[in-house]
């Protein structure tokens, strides 16, 4: 059985942390799109946003996702929080990955996790909590459109979330 799993969700929902553990548990390669983009861009996402703007960043993100979706082979992919903003990315996720998991966390839960972060360009605003609520309102329907499954991240530990995803993968058709 081929396992191509992509994790989508708000910034700070746990995609990278959970993805890394999930890949380890399944014995699969782990790809963090944000990390790979920073390597390719030669700078941090924050710096790229400042120098070139969000649309230019989204162009690079879309190109990388198309490349990863077209690859064959098993993987666990952690996407950037805004990857679902473009319709072609939502389509690439659904077509290129057998399992797209939306790690759903409320804006208030996310704020508790990321409030001290200086590396999230969209949260470097006067009221990051209000910004998270605004992003959530816009993105939640898009994450749901892209995802095959919604995983509520609420209070569970990383290990519990990984167990929940593994169970979902085992119950999936063709597993």
In a domain, 50, yes or no: yes
Read off the CATH number of the domain in which 145 is found: 3.40.50.300
Residues annotated as binding site? 12-17, 34, 58, 81, 120, 139
Residue-wise pLDDT for 14-57, tens only, equals: 999 999 999 999 999 999 999 999 999 999 988 998 899 999 99
Q: Please list the residues that pair with 4 across neighbouring strands.
A: 75
Structure tokens at 161: 């979330």
Tally the domains of the chain. Answer: 1
Q: Which residue range is the domain that position 21 belongs to?
A: 4-161
Angle of helix 45-52 relative to helix 33-41, nearest 10 degrees, comes to: 60
The answer to whether the predicted template modeling score (pTM) of the entire model surpasses 0.75 is yes
Residues annotated as binding site for substrate? 34, 58, 81, 139
In a domain, 74, yes or no: yes
Residues annotated as binding site for Mg(2+)? 16
In a domain, 142, yes or no: yes
Residues annotated as binding site for ATP? 12-17, 120
In a domain, 96, yes or no: yes
First CA to last CA distance, the chain: 6
């Amino acid at each position: 059985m081929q396992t191509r799993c992509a994790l989508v969700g708000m910034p700070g929902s746990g995609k990278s942390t959970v993805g890394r553990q999930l890949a380890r548990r399944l014995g699969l390669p782990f790809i963090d799109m944000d990390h790979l983009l920073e390597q390719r861009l030669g700078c941090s996402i924050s710096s790229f946003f400042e120098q070139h703007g969000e649309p230019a960043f989204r162009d690079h993100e879309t190109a990388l996702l198309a490349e990863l979706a077209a690859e064959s082979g098993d993987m666990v992919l952690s996407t950037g929080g805004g990857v679902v903003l473009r319709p072609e990315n939502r389509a690439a996720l659904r077509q290129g990955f057998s399992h797209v998991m939306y790690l759903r966390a409320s804006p208030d839960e996310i704020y508790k996790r990321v409030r001290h972060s200086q590396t999230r360009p969209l949260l470097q605003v006067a009221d990051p909590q209000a910004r998270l609520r605004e992003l959530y309102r816009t993105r939640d329907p898009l994450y749901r459109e892209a995802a095959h499954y919604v995983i509520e991240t609420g209070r569970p530990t990383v290990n519990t979330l990984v167990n929940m995803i593994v169970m979902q993968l085992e119950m999936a058709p063709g597993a």
